[in-house]
Amino acid sequence: MLIWILYDIEKDRQRTRVAKMCKQAGLYRVQFSCFLGTLNKNELDTLNLQIGELIDEEKDKVYIFPMSKNELQQCKLLGQAFDKNLVTDEIRAFFL
Amino acid sequence: MQLHINTYGTYVHVKDAMFEIRRKLDNGNLEKRHFAASKVRQIVMTTGMALSTDAVKLAMEHNVDLLFIEQHGKPIGRVWHSKLGSTTKIRKAQLQASLNERGLTWVKGWLIQKMENQRNFIQDLKKHRATMADYLDDKITKIENLTNSVQLQEGQSTAEVSDTLRGLEGTAGRLFFETLSQVLPKESQFKGRSNRPAKDPFNAFLNYAYGMLYGKIEKVLIVAGLDPFVGFMHRDDYNQLSMVYDFIEPYRICADEVVFRLFSGKKVNKSHTTEITGGSSLNTEGKALLVNAFNKFMDDNAVRYKGRNLVRSHIIQLDAHRFANSLIEKEQDANLDFI
């Protein structure tokens, strides 16, 4: 499923670690504090626990939203937005 | 996703438990891209690259297939964990079958399927080429006759009739490619198959596509617990991937079809190939065109298979499992139906 992760985290160290965890899970950075990508249920659970352990529950905010593919297709993207095919894992091959 | 690494001097290593791919851009800047290990299924590297042992370790941990290929697409080798895909029983049964009539049954099945695929493809071509109907009908009949001859071969082992089989298969192949060339636009026509170097762009594309297919087949065999080096029909030469060459036959049509469609749809032009001494070779643009078309064909377009809609890559894997299971008699030597 498609997962959005948005956060406000006060401490630099924790914020960097959360960003890294999102990348390692295979999400793409669409804004500085905003990740999007396709995860399965297990990967989502793991990430959920990892982030939960790290943040300061009194101050930080993290949102984890699922989204359906249909809804993504209805999204309007302007300017330098992300690539819909990339976040849905539809790009099968990269040439580097 | 697959990562195809073609740029000379690229370095693949690990950063923060992700693959980092570092390469110098044309303007001299260093580009770094990160890929999460869980998202990468295969890394295909040509020569002229560097790879760190940590990257190999990360790949093994996540079951990522590291495949090394030559510039024209032929696989040189792969890094895969050294465990057997399944039980050793399968390999013993495979060795036995290679020496008795069960092996021959399978070989005949694969060859017949291959030739039927070729015949059906020509039949398909007829739909939109009414003016060539007679020519195509003639080829269809000839290939059908060859298929019948394969069917009639009998023996105690494959070795007894392998020369005859090779001959029949070769003739069918020649007829098939002759037909493809005839049907193509004038500028893409070619004279038969050629390898190292490919004499024309069509063969260059086809060689690269077969190269990708070899890689795929070797992997499905390993995953199914079969030994890619124990063939039934192909000779047991040193380091010959004999079973790969046996098992690939029914699926060659996938590569043929993708390449043919690219040429008949006039998707290929001069910018996709580079002329080399005595022939032609695919360049980066050509590879991108072919790899994308091939992946789409194998992994996006589902076809009907045993009452289910499946993509072709998956079907090949299932066929390999079915073959392995029949060797250890979990499944009977069922009537073979491939793509």
DSSP output for B240-267: --HHHHHHTGGGHHHHHHHHHHHHHTT-
Chain A, nearest residue to B41 by Cα? A92
Q: Which pLDDT value is given to residue A13?
A: 92
Average of pLDDT values for B142-148? Answer: 89
d(CA B283, CA B153): 43
Answer yes or no: is pLDDT of B127 > 80.
Answer: yes
Interchain CB distance below 8 Å, A96 and B18: no
Q: Identify which of A23, A27, A96 has the shortest CB distance to residue B3.
A: A96
Judged by CB atoms closer than 8 Å, whether chains meet at B21 and A92 is answered as no
d(C-alpha B247, C-alpha B110), whole Å: 7
R_g of chain A computed on alpha carbons: 14
Query: How close, in Å, is residue B162 to chain A by CA atoms?
Result: 39
For B19, the closest chain A residue by CA position comes to A24
- Higher local confidence (pLDDT), B239 or B149: B149
Q: Which pTM value belongs to this model?
A: 0.77
User: Would you say how long chain B is, in residues?
Assistant: 339
The percent of residues in chain B predicted with pLDDT above 70, rounded, is 93
CA distance B67 to B80: 9
- At B254 the pLDDT is 92
pLDDT at A33: 92
CB A26 within 8 A of CB B39: yes
Q: Residue B171 CB: number of other CB atoms within 10 A?
A: 16
Instruction: Say whether residue A36 is in contact with chain B using an 8 A CB cutoff.
Output: no
Amino acid type, B290: L
Query: Which candidate from A24, A27, A93 shows the least CB-CB separation from B292?
Result: A93
pLDDT tens digits along B175-222: 999 898 888 888 888 888 888 788 888 998 999 999 889 888 988 888
E strand or H helix at B65: strand B65-69
- Provide the mean pLDDT of chain B: 85
- Identify the pLDDT of residue A45: 93
Phi, psi of B266 (to 5 degrees): 55, 40
Task: For residue B259, give the 3-state DSSP assignment.
Answer: helix
How far apart CA B46 and CA B7 sit, in angstroms, is 8
Give the residue from chain B lying closest to A24, CA to CA.
B36
Which residues of chain A, if any, have pLDDT below 70? none
For B218-270, write each residue's pLDDT tens digit: 888 888 888 888 888 766 555 566 888 889 999 999 999 999 999 888 888 88
Point out which residues pair with B13 in neighbouring strands.
Answer: B20
As given in the structure block, the two tokens for residue A56 are 């300061």
The answer, yes or no, to whether residue B71 has pLDDT greater than 80, is no
Residue recorded with tokens 């006759």: B145
pLDDT score of B339 more than 60: no
Residues A92, B288: C-beta atoms closer than 8 Å: no
Residue of A24, A92, A93 with shortest CB distance to B18: A24
pLDDT of residue B238: 56
Predicted local distance difference test score (pLDDT) of residue B236: 59
CB B225 within 8 A of CB B84: yes
Mind listing the pLDDT tens digit for each residue in B316-335?
A: 989 998 888 888 875 555 55
User: Which of B4, B22, B249 minimizes the C-alpha distance to B115?
Assistant: B249
As given in the structure block, the two tokens for residue B83 are 């465990």
Rounded to an integer, what distance in angstroms lies between the CA atom of residue B332 and that of residue B323? 10
Give the residue from chain B lying closest to A26, CA to CA: B36
Contacts with A45 from chain B: Cβ below 8 Å: none
Q: Does A86 touch chain B (CB under 8 A)?
A: no
Residue A89, chain B, CB below 8 Å: the answer is: yes
Residue B66 and residue B53 in contact, taking contact as beta carbons nearer than 8 Å:
no
**Which regions of B149-290 does DSSP assign to beta strands (E)?**
273-276, 279-282
- Structure tokens given for A36: 């999007």
A96 touches chain B (CB under 8 A): yes
